[in-house]
Every structure is written in C-alpha cells, then in structure tokens.
Structure 1
Amino acid sequence: MLGRIGTVVRSLRESMKAMGLDRAVERAAEMIPDARDRLTYISTMTEQAAERALNAVDRAQPIQDRLHQQSHDLAERWAHWSATHIEYEEVKSLVLETRMFLEDIPEQTRETNKELLEITMAQDFQDLTGQVIKKLMEVVIDVEHQLLDLLVDGLCPEQDRDEVRRRIYSQFQEAESESKDGSLLNGPQIDPAGDEVVSGQDQVDDLLDQLGL
C-alpha cells in the first residue's frame, strides 16, 4: 500500500513538473512566510501604539486629578472666607497657596500637552501598517491567482482553460464590486447586537475555536 502511494505521489510530482505547475506551487508557498511576517509586523505595531497611548493616559490622568483637587479645595476655602470672618494669617496663607497653584498650572498643562502629543504620535502606525496591508493584499491576490491557475491547468482541458479563467476572473471582479458597493460603504458595524458583530473577547475566542485556532 505504501509503495503504491509513493508511486502515485511521484507520478503526480512528475506530471506537475512537466506542466510547469511545480513552480506555481513553489511561488505560492514562498509567499506564505512573507505574508505571515507582514501580519506579525502589523500586530506588533498596533500593540505598541496601544501601549504608548494607554501609558500616556496613565501619566496624564494624575496631573488632571491633582489640578481638579487643588482647584476644588481652593474654591471651597475662598467661599468660606467670603462667608465668614477669618484671621489675617489664614487669609495670607490662602492667598499664598492660591498664588502657588496658579504658578504651577502652566507646568502641569505643559506635561499634559506632552502626553497628548505622545498619544497623537502613537497613531503614526496607521500609515505604516496601511502600506503593509496594501502589500499584503497584493500577495494574497497573487497567491489566489497562482492557485487558480494551478487548478485550471490541472482540471480543465487545454482548449477550455482561457475561457474558464476569463469567467472566474469576471466573477471575482463582480464580487469585489458588490463588496465595495455594499458592506464596505456601510462602514463598520456599530450595533453590538448585530449577528455579524463580534463585540467581546468571549465571542472572539468562540470564533477562533470554530476556525480550529
């Protein structure tokens, strides 16, 4: 049995080589690692951008909390001074603290603006990953065409191959046009109750399980 299987495999390999199909399979296989590397790059860049933005928010939040608390405390003390009679020394202390607070505001706002700029700069990954995604789509289309040619050459009579290719490519173009005119132009799904929307990690995990990943 194993000998017969080996004979069939060798025969298939020789037939593919004779028709030049082995090179098509080889080219398709060579593109897969490149596509995988590009997807890894996109994942890494996206993760780094998210971390930069979240870290900047974590650093800016205490600054804003401190400004809020200090301004609130001073406002209450000034309201108390307006409503009641307090000693001169207490008034002097209140004025001094208010002055220090006002002098400190420019530095704290500068630090906040610095973190906001960091969040903005973290979004530069979109331009880089957009270029990679475009190239990745070209790779996917190329692999698709290579595999399609392989199937057509292997399954169709020679006199019918050109017509079969033409019909298949025409169907591809129609499907792509419908996709652009339909779901893509509708924008992202924003209704979390929609049937095609994955809105939580549990649903993501279930989807990966269904795909065997």
Structure 2
Amino acid sequence: MNDHALNSGDSADLEALFDSIVHSNQDGEPTESAPAPVEVSLAIASPAHTLTAEEMNDPARAMFSHIGQLTRKLHDTLKELGLDKSLEKAATDIPDARDRLSYIATLTEQAADRTLNALDAAKPIQDKISDDAKALSGQWDKLLANQLSVDEFKALVEKTRSHLNETVNGSDQVSSKMLEIMMAQDFQDLTGQVIKKVLDMSKQMEAHLMDFLLLFSPQGTVRHDHPKADDDASLLNGPVINPEGRTDVVANQGQVDDLLESLGF
C-alpha cells in the first residue's frame, strides 16, 4: 500500500485496485527521465489527452487505464470536498428516516385508536342522558299544564331524582373519556419532533446532492471563475435571507426542479 493510502484512509482493496491500474499502464510504457511523473499526472488530470501509439494498438487497455485514472481523480476530489462522507451519511440516514416515519405512523395509529375507543364509550352515555332529559322535560310540561295526577307526579319526582344521580355518574364517565382523548393527543409532541428531524435530514441530503451536481456539472464550473475576494465575501455574508433578484442561489423547490431538469435529471 502506498503513502497515499495511508494518508487518505482509503480501504486496502480500493487502493490496490487503483495501484494495479497505474502499474498496468506503466508496464507497457518505456521508462522516462525524472520529469515523466509530471507528464503522467498531467495526462491524468486531462480526460482528453492524446493516445500513445501503444494505446491506439490496444484500445481496450487504454480505455480501462483511462477510466481507472478518472475514477481515482473523482475519488480524490470527493474526499477533498468531504462529499463522500456526506453521501455516506445520507445513505445511512435513509433507513433511519424510514424507521422514524414508521414510528410516527405507529404513534398516530395508536392515538387514533385510543380516541375512537373513548368516543365509542362516551357517546352512548351522553345519548342516554340526553334522551332521559327530553322525556322528563315532557313530563314536567304536562305537570305544569295540570295534566298529571298525584300518583303520576310522585312517579315523576322519583324519575327526576334518579335521572340526576345518573347524570352525575354519566358525566364523570364522559369526563374520564374526554381526558383519555386529550391524553391520546400527546403523540403530537413526539411525532412533531421526529418529523422536524426527518425534514432537517431531507434538507441536508438535498443540499449535499445539489452541491454535488453543481460541482460536477458544466454549469457548476462557473462558480470557480469568481474572484477569491468575492468567494470570501460570500462566506462572510451567511445564509441568503432575501433571495429575490439573485441568480446565484436556489431559493425554492421550483428552482431546484428547474436546475435538475437543466442538468438532465
């Protein structure tokens, strides 16, 4: 394993693959003087370098070597930018996001079941109290109209007392079910926090992917043409608060969609 592998932290298999590609390319070329490594590095940096006579005679080997060199360059660039770690984190965050959304669905379902069960238990109690009150109201109307006998009046008084007692007990039961419904809504606090984390995770993943597309697309090369002073100033400006009239920032989902379409995605 070479020094580059030790410094970069690449896996042994990945470094061995890159080294084998470089060695296989060097074995078929004559040994040159000291400046030769510089020429090779320049050829690697330029995807459109001129093929040698040996490469023209063996196009398959030339293509394999060229792809390997481009892969190494892309891999090193990703590591320098830190995007490989960001994409790796995004890949590991996706299953975590699925688990979080599944957790939200479970809590929501449990809360819905508790709420419906409490309503199913409270509604018959409330309906009975209402029906008994309507019946007693009709009997008292007859009493006020002198349409009830003494015995009917005594029976009405007993029914009224019984209804009042049942109303107290029924109201307590309904209050208990209402408390159950209120307690079932505590899922909102937990699911709200989880949803916020999932949204933040999605925004970070989108930002990483957009940075990747901007850096490795033809349009993205424009960002390297700005003077360094402008880059430093943009870093000091912080996040863009008012993106209206700005062409160098993506402000909303519509602009993100337009950018992806312009890149062919």
Establish whether residue 27 from structure 1 lines up as the match of residue 117 from structure 2. Answer: no
Pair 1:136-2:198 in alignment:
yes
- Percentage of matched positions with identical amino acids: 39
Query: How many angstroms apart in 2 are the aligned matches of 1:41 and 1:53?
Result: 18
Q: Structure 1: which 5+ residue stretches go unaligned? A: 177-213
Structure 1 residues 159, 130: CA separation in 2 closer, same or farther (over 3 Å shift)? closer
Instruction: Say whether residues 1:53 and 2:115 are aligned partners.
Output: yes
1:17 lines up with 2:75 in the alignment:
yes
Equivalent residue for 2:130, pick from 46, 58, 68:
68
Distance 1:114 1:77 in 2: 31
Gaps of 5+ in 2: 1-59, 245-265
Residue 84 of structure 1 aligns to a residue whose secondary structure is coil
Per the alignment, residue 148 of structure 1 pairs with 210
Q: 1:119 aligns with which of 181, 188, 197?
A: 181
1:58 to partner: Cα distance: 2.2
Q: Partners in 1 of 2:243 and 2:102 — Cα distance? A: 28
* TM superposition shift of 1:96: 1.3
Q: Please state how far the C-alpha of 1:108 moved relative to its aligned partner.
A: 0.6
CA RMSD of aligned residues (A): 3.6
**Residue 160 of structure 1: which of 224, 229, 238 is its match?**
224
Alpha-carbon separation, structure 1, partners of 2:181 and 2:146: 46
Q: CA deviation at 1:83?
A: 2.0
Cα separation, 1, equivalents of 2:84 and 2:156: 85
Q: Paired residues, what number? A: 171
Larger Rg over CA atoms: 2
Q: Is the 8 A contact 1:31 1:139 kept in 2?
A: yes
Comparing 100-109 and 141-150, the one that deviates more: 141-150
C-alpha spacing 1:112/1:159, structure 2 compared with 1 (3 Å): closer
Task: Return the structure number with greater helix share.
Answer: 1
Query: How far is the alpha carbon of 1:68 from its aligned partner?
Result: 0.9
